[in-house]
Structure 1
Amino acid sequence: MPQFIPQHLICPLTKKMFVDPVKTVYGTVYERKAIEEHLKQHQYDPTAGPGHELEMSDIKADQDMKKMIEFCRRGRSEWIQKEDDSREMWWVLWVLAALLALVCTLDVGYFLRAAAVILRAWFQPPIRDITAEQIRTGRVTPRDIDMCHMNNARYLRECDFARFSLYMRNGVFKALRALKASMVVGATTIRYRRALCIGEGFELRSRIVTWDDKAFFLEQRFVSTKDGLVCAVMYCKQSVVRSSPDKIMQHLCKRKVECPEFPEDLQHWVNFISASSQALRAESGLDEKNK
């Protein structure tokens, strides 16, 4: 909203606030340029009327009016500055509120780190062998621990990031985009052998072991850099949606690729998943509905 300007600070000719006020011998005040233009055509005071003659020599600078104008302009400037500061403060509050809502509703740290992992993998050398092992290094931080060792859930999160990096480097993500497919975790199992303590470094070794007609099967190992012990081993079933592992392999290798044999321990786990799935389908009556 514009600030109110007192009437006595407004020139009667220009209807605007004085910039260079002058006073006539009759005590009226005008803007210098405006009264000079008037006197070029009329030799009288425009407010007092034609009977009151006026010449250029009859006008003088009004120092008192100038001081009042400066005081008013200073107040207007401070008011405008306060308005700008208030507006900026509201913007800051809105941004902070939006960030707070974002942090409260989303796991922002997870998404930021996932983006950083993918970006870093983009600039790393590609892995030509689809079954080759990728090694990512890490260290247990205070945010990862409970009871001074790495929280069980943190192992699974670290495995997520390692798979993102692996799929970027071996081309699986690129093939998924080309085939308009996606992947989801269908099942995981993890065995903890020894705790990773706070400050301890580790290597996370990830590789695609084999695949079937619906999913890739990966092994991910946490190996301590302190003594080389395998502290945890995880198997992950990464199911392919709207495509198949065979099509992804053909896209990457430009030929049909035979899948490696299932290791015995992995096959036992796959059999368990299959049996569990059948039992759950029977329990929910899905088998009867499909008949």
Structure 2
Amino acid sequence: MNLYFRLVWLFLWRIRHCPGISFLDTSRISYRALPFDCDVNLHLTNSRYPAFMDLARTYMIADMGLMKKFLKMKWMPIVNASEFTYIRDIKPFEKFEIETKVVGWDEKYFYIEQRFITARGLHCIVHVRGVFVCNRKQVPIETLVSEAGYYGDKPELPAEVVKWKQFLQLKKERNS
């Protein structure tokens, strides 16, 4: 239930006060780990990370100034794959920041990196692969990038994302 409250708060207040970033800049949003976000081990439960990441990606789209445009075009973001590296736990009542940025794209997908950070340092790094869809069809990545107003060079994907892509392809081939 608290994530619904956070989602409503995101749309009613936080999105209206975004500082504004460019397409490849880092978006930052802060939260606090409340007791019902935590598990019996007294840290942020693993299931909350993806939920907070959804909120942070939504905020990033608004921070880029693209929320109204994408909603008007009826574009919906879809996560295709994600990979998590947990480094240390986030304690109850601890304030944390989620840094979210587009790290690149290929012919089909865009790739996002999200980091959970507190005053104690880095807690989790996550890579997300996704697409936007409209009327059950994928929005071409070139269309997405140009509608976002980015006309620069395509950034080189980080080495860990390249390896992850290869791993995902191997999984797909072995399980087809």
TM-score (ref. length: structure 1)? 0.54
Match of 2:139 among 230, 234, 243: 243
Q: Is the 8 A contact 1:118 1:168 kept in 2?
A: no
Structure 1: how far apart are the matches of 2:106 and 2:8?
Answer: 29
Change (3 A) 1:174 1:187: same
Q: How big is the shift at 1:122?
A: 3.0
Higher-Rg structure is 1
Compared CA separation, residues 246 and 119, structure 1 to 2 (3 A): farther
Aligned Cα root-mean-square deviation (Å): 2.0
Alpha-carbon distance, 1:179 to partner: 4.1
User: What is the DSSP-based 3-state SS (H/G/I as helix, E as strand, rest coil) of the residue aligned with 1:152?
Assistant: coil
**Structure with more relative contact order (C-alpha pairs < 8 Å, separation 6 or more):** 2
Residue 4 of structure 2 is aligned to residue 122 of structure 1: no
Structure 1 residue runs of 4 or more that deviate by more than 4 Å after TM superposition: none
**2:130 alignment partner, SS class:** strand
Give the gaps of 5 or more residues in structure 2: none
Cα distance between partner residues in 1 of 2:160 and 2:52: 23
3-state SS, counterpart of residue 154 of structure 2: coil
Unaligned stretches of 5+ in structure 1? 1-107, 282-291
- Using the alignment, how far apart are the partners of 1:148 and 1:200 within structure 2? 11
More helix by share: 1
CA shift digits 1:111-149 (9 cap, x unpaired): 443232133243123524111111111221110111111
CA contact (8 A) 2:21 2:27 kept: no
What is the Cα deviation at residue 174 of structure 1?
Answer: 3.5
Residue 267 of structure 1 corresponds to 162
Quote how far apart the aligned CAs of 1:261 are.
0.4
Q: How many residues matched? A: 171
Alignment equivalent of 2:56, drawn from 150, 162, 167: 162
Could you tell me the percent identity over the aligned residues? 23
Contact 1:175–1:252 (Cα < 8 Å) also in 2: no
Q: Give CA deviations for 1:73-95 in whole Å, capped at 9, x if unaligned.
A: xxxxxxxxxxxxxxxxxxxxxxx
